[in-house]
Amino acid sequence: ISNKYVLAETALLNYYIDTPEYRAIIQNDLVGVFCADDLNREILLTIDDVLETSSHSPNLREVVLSRFKNEKLLKAELILKPKHDYTLIELDDCINQIKERNLLSEENAIREKQRQLDPHIDVDEYKKLSADVLSIRQRRENIWKKTKSSKN
């Protein structure tokens, strides 16, 4: 996992834990568990668990952190440092980083399937996978085009 993706996950976790409006945007744009980093994933699942069991906890961060012990607690505290300057632009950038990572992962999985094929024997399947890769690349480009046009 690249550092930029872990940083995006970390930022998103803070948006997610602190702001219900931003949490809704994240849940809408990134379906499922958006964290690939093990500790970030554990923190996200803990946040969701706390929200399911006590949705109106005024100190969500404290309740979530209370579920961690020792070294994990120290790391979780570093990840969940309170932040006071949330912006839609940063949120959008972080969401797009995760979308890009997910598409790269999807592309790598397709390329691995291609490597296992003989392009001379499995011609149709090879062509289909190549088209899938091109489609993913286009979707990745569109992520950032959309962002740039919305910032202008």
Distance CA 103, CA 109 (A): 10
Q: H or E segment at 19? A: none
* Angle at CA of residue 114, ends 109 and 119, nearest 5°: 175
Q: Measuring CA to CA, which residue among 113, 139, 135 is closest to residue 126?
A: 113
What is the pLDDT at residue 152? 46
Give the SS3 label for residue 125.
helix
Secondary structure tally for the chain: helices H, strands E: 7, 0
> Two tokens at 50?
């706390």
Q: In the chain, which stretches have pLDDT less than 50? A: 149, 152
Q: DSSP letter at 57?
A: -
**DSSP annotation of 26:** H
pTM (2 d.p.): 0.83
pLDDT of residue 31: 84
